[in-house]
Amino acid sequence: MSTFNRVFPKRWSIGWPLLLLCLPMAAAWADLAVSGTRFVYREGEKHVLVPLSNTGKAPILVQAWLDHDGAEADLSRLQVPFVLMPTLFRIDPGERRALQLRYTGEALPQDQETVLRINLRHTPSTGQSENRLQVVLSYVMKVLYRPKGLSGTPQDAPGQVRWTYHPGTAQAAPYLQAENPTPFSVSLATVHIRGRQGSTELKGLTLMPKAVERFSLPLDTAAPPPAGDTLEFEAVDDLGLVVPGTATLRAAPPR
């Protein structure tokens, strides 16, 4: 039996359909406070600390792990030069703890940021005699490893993204193409585009450094926006603050 299964017994586990039905109850168990949703690991730093605390009245059992590019992985299997500790621990009511992320020194790209995620999974701890449903909650935090000497600044990166609207066809939905030429990861809370049939909003976009991303659009945005129209976005900075901005939206020729 895995360590996680020993600490989180099967009687505490519920399937995703049931979890969705239990969301109102889940809010009552959200006692794990995390100081931030994103952390920057600058080259040369010994480690990064992720502060945690238990704001509830019962102990919390927490599992922590890393993943890369959205693929879950055990620390023992993850092929990235980072160590996250502790990976399984308890936080008592009112207690403060901290995760420590340490870079072990193996080679990483020096011309762009490396994007990782810290995942937390927790559940309240109860006595063995209690017969009640427990809800497991999860948090995801972004970690950006930032080498020294990158050209430009992360503050300017969202405004340098090049946006192109691609109209749909009978076989394919329209999509929005985002080209990020900068060495920085760009996080966007929202993106608004105005078409001839109304506006469309996209939420929670991540643009990887020096990459091109495509985001599908609803079919009712098939009528393209005017050439040179303005796209509005809300970027998330290093402190987790939302910063509004605009960009020119180009229209690609019909396919």
At 143 the pLDDT is: 95
Q: Reply yes or no on whether the pLDDT at 94 is more than 70.
A: yes
Q: Reply yes or no on whether the pLDDT at 53 is more than 70.
A: yes
Distances (CA, A) of 200 to 73, 105, 226, 231: 34, 44, 14, 10
Longest dimension (CA), the chain: 66
| pLDDT band (50, 70, 90) for residue 229 | confident
Burial class (CB in 10 A: 0-12, 13-18, 19+), 42: exposed
Residue pair 212/231 in contact (Cβ under 8 Å)? The answer is no
User: What is the CATH class of 154-251?
Assistant: mainly beta
Least confident of 3-17, 119-133, 207-221, 236-250: 3-17
User: Mean pLDDT in the chain?
Assistant: 80
What does pTM read for this prediction? Answer: 0.78
Distances (CA, A) of 208 to 37, 48, 86, 113, 202: 17, 21, 28, 9, 17
| pLDDT band (50, 70, 90) for residue 208 | very high
Burial class (CB in 10 A: 0-12, 13-18, 19+), 228: exposed
Q: Reply yes or no on whether the pLDDT at 88 is more than 90.
A: yes
List the structure tokens of 27: 């809010």
Q: Reply yes or no on whether the pLDDT at 75 is more than 70.
A: no
In the block, which residue shows the tokens 């192109």?
Answer: 164
At 138 the pLDDT is: 83
Helix (H) or strand (E) holding 25: helix 23-26
Domain boundaries, the chain: 32-125+134-146, 154-251
Decide if 32-125+134-146 and 154-251 have a common fold: yes
At 147 the pLDDT is: 97
Centre a 10 Å sphere on the Cβ of residue 219 and count the other Cβ atoms it contains: 10
Whole-angstrom Cα Rg for the chain: 21
At 27 the pLDDT is: 28
At 186 the pLDDT is: 97
**Residues 155-167, mean pLDDT to the nearest whole number:** 94
At 80 the pLDDT is: 74
At 131 the pLDDT is: 54
Please compute, for residue 247, the number of CA atoms within 13 A of its CA located in the half-sphere on the CB side: 25
**CATH fold label, 32-125+134-146:** Immunoglobulin-like (2.60.40)
**In this predicted model, what pLDDT tens digit does every residue of 112-157 receive, in sequence order?**
999 999 999 987 665 554 555 556 778 889 999 999 999 999 999 9
Give all strands of the β-sheet with 162-166 in edge-to-edge order.
198-207, 186-195, 229-236, 242-251, 162-166, 175-180, 211-216
| pLDDT band (50, 70, 90) for residue 220 | low
**Residues 167-187, mean pLDDT to the nearest whole number:** 90
Least confident of 13-17, 25-29, 191-195: 25-29
